[in-house]
């Protein structure tokens, strides 16, 4: 999971005093804004839960007001702290952290909890109308949606909610997988472009398809997604294959349709929009797809010429996310006084090209963070399959969870709901609590290099450790 704190802002408490807050982004999208003392309180709760030695170093308190240089240093230190937490299996599975992040998102929204209408879609645009709380987390919304279409509870773990941008009925872009501890409604409110929430399967190993095909509702969900991926060209077909699939579709032979599609290229892959890569040469236009334990790169040449390169996930030693600034030129392509800087995201991975040769490969894409998240999910599933490592279920807290609000008061919290007040007092984060609402900065504006624990600027791939001579 990728945390960043690209900027800070000064908020007015309403009594004439002000404070500095930190804008937290998760996987490329603004999530919440919090004070230093709130993160300090979170760190203290995590220490009680897991012990001091299990946590990264938290920046120290300061007695005097911070200078601009000290403020930047604290912002950077808090960012590194959260990034280290985000790379720790145990901490990221903690109910303490999940409760904090959901509560912080709720407080940042500066709205009262209310019942709202929320639409969730299946991949054929079938609309599931829900009546939920504006503070309900993803897991709760997903459960309600799947119950409404009568999916048995044992199959719910195989599906997740995804946030998509729809340019037209065929051309969609998957922005990210919604996290269990965030509110889908609140997340949608901070995104400027129109988005929809859709249900898609939540696994990479196609052997799980066999489990879903034993239940008619689960089979139908899998079939609808497969048909949609074929029609969008996300699964490649020949004319002959397409005709055969149309015949199966006409007969409503859902299981046979899926089994045939499983044999086609890019079945079960996540597809991304066209982007730029520095391999095999700089400024190469490529299409990226991730699945089947690999990152596939289709190189786009003149006309319909396409060359494919495959990078096995087990041969990626590590990867990282960075932001770069490039110059936007005039129409003639030359630099001028009107040249402006444009920030873009990059995913770089170090790949074992041969037995003794490691090479960095860089992909420039607005979806770089989602690509990284997909690689991590794929690796997690790979480790489960190969080494028996358990999935990242939420680790329950040993005691009551509390959340320190911006005004310093503490409230009991629940991972499934909003604040549980310990008194009848009105919440201090109501609509008029602050004179200045939070400003939503896009990640591309100020995103800094991702730095993880131990000072390393990359995500280590633990599946790489098991590579042997037979893999080369």
Query: According to the model, what pLDDT value does residue 420 have?
Result: 38
Q: Give me the DSSP letters along 97-166.
A: HHHHHHHHHHHHHT----EEEEEEE-TT--EEEEEEETT--HHHHHHHHHHHTT--GGGGGGEEEEEEEE
In Å, the largest CA–CA distance within the chain is 74
- pLDDT tens for residues 425-459? 333 333 333 333 333 333 333 333 333 333 345 67
CA-to-CA distance for 431 and 114, rounded, in angstroms? 13
Tokens of residue 300, six digits: 């786009």
Q: How is the beta sheet containing 410-413 ordered, strand by strand?
A: 402-404, 410-413, 419-420
- pLDDT tens for residues 159-177? 999 999 887 666 789 999 9
The structure's pTM equals: 0.81
Q: Please answer whether residues 355 and 472 qualify as being in contact, where contact means their C-beta atoms are separated by less than 8 angstroms.
A: yes
Q: Please answer whether residues 130 and 118 qualify as being in contact, where contact means their C-beta atoms are separated by less than 8 angstroms.
A: yes
CA-to-CA distance for 40 and 31, rounded, in angstroms? 18
Query: According to the model, what pLDDT value does residue 453 have?
Result: 33
Domains and CATH numbers, the chain: 3-111+418-441 (3.30.1520.10), 115-261 (3.10.20.90), 270-390+458-471 (2.30.29.30)
CA-to-CA distance for 196 and 45, rounded, in angstroms? 35
- Residue 48 is given by DSSP the state H
pLDDT tens per residue across all 472 residues of the chain? 788 899 999 888 777 788 899 999 998 889 999 999 999 999 999 999 999 899 999 999 887 788 889 999 999 999 999 999 988 888 888 899 999 999 999 999 988 899 999 999 999 999 999 999 999 999 999 999 999 999 999 999 999 999 998 876 667 899 999 998 899 999 998 887 789 999 999 999 999 999 999 999 999 999 999 999 999 999 999 999 999 999 999 999 999 999 999 999 999 999 999 999 999 999 999 999 999 999 999 998 776 667 889 999 999 999 988 875 444 444 433 333 333 444 578 999 999 998 889 999 999 999 999 999 999 999 989 888 776 655 556 666 666 788 888 888 888 876 554 443 333 333 333 333 333 333 333 333 333 333 333 334 567 777 776 555 555 5
What is the b/e burial string over 15-53, where b = at least 16 CB atoms within 10 angstroms of the residue's CB? eeeeeebbbbbbbbbbbbbbbbebbebbbebbeebbeee
Tokens of residue 55, six digits: 């946590």
Query: According to the model, what pLDDT value does residue 128 have?
Result: 97
Report the DSSP beta bridge partners of residue 131. Answer: 117
Query: According to the model, what pLDDT value does residue 432 have?
Result: 36
């Amino acid at each position: 999971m990728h945390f960043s704190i690209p900027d800070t802002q000064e908020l007015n408490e309403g009594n004439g005093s002000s404070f500095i807050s930190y804008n937290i982004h998760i996987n490329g999208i603004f999530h919440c804004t919090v004070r230093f003392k709130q993160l300090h309180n979170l760190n203290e709760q995590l220490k009680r839960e897991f012990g001091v030695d299990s946590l990264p170093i938290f920046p120290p308190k300061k007695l005097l007001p911070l200078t601009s240089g000290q403020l930047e240093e604290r912002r950077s230190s808090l960012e590194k702290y959260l990034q280290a937490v985000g790379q720790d299996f145990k901490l990221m599975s903690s109910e303490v952290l999940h409760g904090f992040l959901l509560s912080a998102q709720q407080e940042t929204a500066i709205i009262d909890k209310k019942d709202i209408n929320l639409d969730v879609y299946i991949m054929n645009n079938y609309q599931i109308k829900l009546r939920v709380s504006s503070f309900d987390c993803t897991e709760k919304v997903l459960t309600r949606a799947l119950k409404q279409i009568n999916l048995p509870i044992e199959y719910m773990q195989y599906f997740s909610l995804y946030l998509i941008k729809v340019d037209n009925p065929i051309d969609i872009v998957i922005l990210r997988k919604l996290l269990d501890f965030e509110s889908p409604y609140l997340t949608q409110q901070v995104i400027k472009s129109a988005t929809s929430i859709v249900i898609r399967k939540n696994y990479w190993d196609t052997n799980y398809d066999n489990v879903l095909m034993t239940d008619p509702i689960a089979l139908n969900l899998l079939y609808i997604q497969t048909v949609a991926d074929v029609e969008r060209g996300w699964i490649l077909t020949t004319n002959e294959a397409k005709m055969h699939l149309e015949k199966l579709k006409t007969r409503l032979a859902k299981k046979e349709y899926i089994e045939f599609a499983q044999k086609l290229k890019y079945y079960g892959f996540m597809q991304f929009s066209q982007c730029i890569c520095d391999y095999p040469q700089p400024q190469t236009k490529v299409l990226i797809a991730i699945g089947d334990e690999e990152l596939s790169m289709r190189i786009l040449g003149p006309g319909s010429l396409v060359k494919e390169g495959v990078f096995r996930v087990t041969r990626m030693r590590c990867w990282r996310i960075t932001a770069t600034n490039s110059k936007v030129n005039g129409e003639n392509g030359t630099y001028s006084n009107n040249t402006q800087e444009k920030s873009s995201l990059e995913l770089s991975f170090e790949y074992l090209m041969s037995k003794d040769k490691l090479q960095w490969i860089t992909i420039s894409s607005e979806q770089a963070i989602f690509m990284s998240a997909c690689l991590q999910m794929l690796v997690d599933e790979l480790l489960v399959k190969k080494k028996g490592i358990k999935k990242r279920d939420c680790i329950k807290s040993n005691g009551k969870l509390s959340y320190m609000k911006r005004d310093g008061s503490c409230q009991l919290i629940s991972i499934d709901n909003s604040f549980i007040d310990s008194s009848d007092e009105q919440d201090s984060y109501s609509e008029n609590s602050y004179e200045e609402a939070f400003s939503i900065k896009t990640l591309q504006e100020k995103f800094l290099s991702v730095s993880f624990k131990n000072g390393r600027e990359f995500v280590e791939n633990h599946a790489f450790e098991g590579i042997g001579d037979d893999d080369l």
